[in-house]
Structure 1
Amino acid sequence: MEPFLVSIGWYNVAAGLALFALLSPRIGQKVLGEWCRLTAAPYSLGDHGALWLWWAALTNLFFGAVNVLAAGWEPAAQRAIAWLDLAVYVPFLVLALGALRSPRYGRGVWVAVPLFGGWIAWNLHALLG
């Protein structure tokens, strides 16, 4: 259980820091539009994009820290955190699969499917294996 919690924790910390970089429209267009091809539309924060990015980045940092810290907790608490991780990543996978059907998103969405699926599989292995 501990390797899973530490890994997904540091992954979320890194993701939270990366989200802060997307506050720059120039970096966002380069990363999401050109390198990852996640979105087919030009990158724009819109009216509330910066607020959403701050929320998402801080949430990732918080949950990342909780997962890293949970690796040192009692097994019952570790399992509770792992179940919460599952409750987050399953909807992410469903959203990614739904995005595959939308013309608004580019081929980069295909990266999210094995990424989220991999975290879910490792999570289930840690919980049930």
Structure 2
Amino acid sequence: MPDTVPILAVFSALSKSHTKVINIKRLALKESNRIKSTIEMLERFGVKVIEDENSFSFYGIETLKGCEINSYNDHRIAMAAAIGATFADGPVIIKNSQSVEKSYKNFFEDFKSLGGRADVI
């Protein structure tokens, strides 16, 4: 389920448990290398991630950190980062956030209508 890993990783990062994502090789074959981009996103949010040959794992944290995240022009990373930003202790800047238009043209409009904050800079 390579399309769900980024957002599930963000939600799991906010749990008080250990998460292990297994059989990750297929993640490398999406819009971005989602192994790299998901792990980098989590680490930018302040989550310590351990990567193995075919898995990565981490423990959840209480609050995500404000940061800058490169979406690598991957719509799933951009959307997961935006959702994660609502749980961050400071601003989150998402590079190439316009990539959401690949699959969800009105993502940021809907995000704002639900109480999210998004500014284009």
Structure 1 length-normalised TM: 0.28
Higher relative contact order (CA 8 A, sep 6+): 1
Larger radius of gyration: 1
Higher normalized helix content (fraction of residues) = 1
Structure 2 length-normalised TM: 0.29
